Amino acid sequence: MVKTAASSPGPRVASGAGGNNGRMRARAAPSPSLGQGQRIDVEALSACHELHASLESVKCWMTQVLAAAGFVAVAVLSGCAPTVNLEPAEGANAPECANMIVRLPDTVAELPARNVNSQATAAYGSPTAVIIRCGVERPGPNLLPCFTVDGVDWLRDDTNDPDFVFTTYGLDPATEVIVDSTAVSGTSVLRDISRAVGSQSTPVAACIALEDAVS
């Protein structure tokens, strides 16, 4: 489950600011006797043995190389995951989004990044547990819970629980993060991405405490 409220200083709102026994055995043939005047070429025999050993060594090395190559190929193929099809936000082509997306980490809450097919989007986990879209409309003042993580204000909408939607408040354009809370903690996700998200631009508004909003 998402655990954001526990780390919040208090409720706030958005404000306009083997072997084989049957196997036959072959008997070794008797060694032929040398006739008179016949000699064994010791040097040639030694060279033959060395050549045989060298060929066996090369054969063994090639086997190891091919085995390693096969292992790498299997590892690469097994690590492939299909591209995640996402709908880009209306303001996805904003330069602020381009500035932010390239700064997102390779892993979020220990989930690896996935390939996506849309501008200013990101996804993590297989199956997908985190979706990020930059360029959504900036929310106005509202009463949704607001939490600050690394200087970024986040609104939390749990209407579609267990899928939680977090939206930046005060950044223009806004960034939306959808988290499957059955697979990953929303708090962990926001902690890993807030620094990158906050780099897109200077906030133009901020959340305020509930008592300040009603006073």
Whether pTM > 0.75 for this model: the answer is: no
Query: Within a domain: residue 23?
Result: no
Average pLDDT over residues 77-97: 86
Q: Are residues 104 and 148 in the same domain?
A: yes
Q: Is the domain of 151 the same as that of 165?
A: yes
On whether both 146 and 69 belong to a single domain, the answer is: no
Compute the Cα dihedral for 29, 30, 34, 40 and give only its sign: positive
Q: Give the per-residue pLDDT at 54.
A: 54
Report the distance separating Cα 153 and Cα 194, nearest Å.
Answer: 9
Inform me whether the pLDDT recorded for 188 exceeds 50: yes
Q: Is 13 domain-assigned?
A: no
Q: Looking at the structure, do residues 194 and 117 belong to the same domain, yes or no?
A: yes
Among residues of the chain, what percentage have pLDDT more than 70? 60
Do residue 103 and residue 194 come from a single domain? yes
Q: Which domain holds residue 176?
A: 83-214
The whole-number pLDDT of residue 60 equals 44
Predicted pLDDT at 45: 46
> Whole-angstrom Cα distance, residue 200 to residue 165?
20
Domain total for the chain?
2
Same domain for 63 and 141, yes or no, is: no
Q: Are residues 50 and 94 in the same domain?
A: no
Q: How far apart are CA 126 and CA 111, in angstroms?
A: 8
Q: Is residue 197 part of a domain?
A: yes
What local confidence, expressed as pLDDT, does residue 7 receive?
39
Residue 200 has pLDDT above 60, yes or no: yes
- Give the Cα separation of 120 and 133 in Å (integer): 6
Which pLDDT score, from 0 to 100, does residue 1 have?
36
How large a percentage of the chain has pLDDT more than 90? Answer: 58
Shared domain for 194 and 164, answered yes or no, is yes
Q: What is the pLDDT of residue 8?
A: 40
| pLDDT in the model for residue 208 | 87
**62-63-65-71 Cα dihedral, nearest 10 degrees:** 160
pLDDT (0 to 100) of residue 20: 44
Confidence of residue 17 (pLDDT cuts 50, 70, 90): very low
Q: Which residues contact 122 (CB under 8 A, 6 or more apart)?
A: 101, 104, 113, 114, 116, 130, 131, 132
Alpha helices in 25-118 (DSSP H): 42-79, 95-101
Per-residue pLDDT tens digits for 141-153: 999 999 999 999 9
| Average confidence (pLDDT) over 103-108 | 98
Whether 95 and 165 share a structural domain: yes
| Claim to verify: residue 75 and residue 156 sit in the same structural domain | no
Write down which residue in 58, 80, 102 finishes a domain.
80
- Whether the pLDDT of residue 14 is over 90: the answer is no
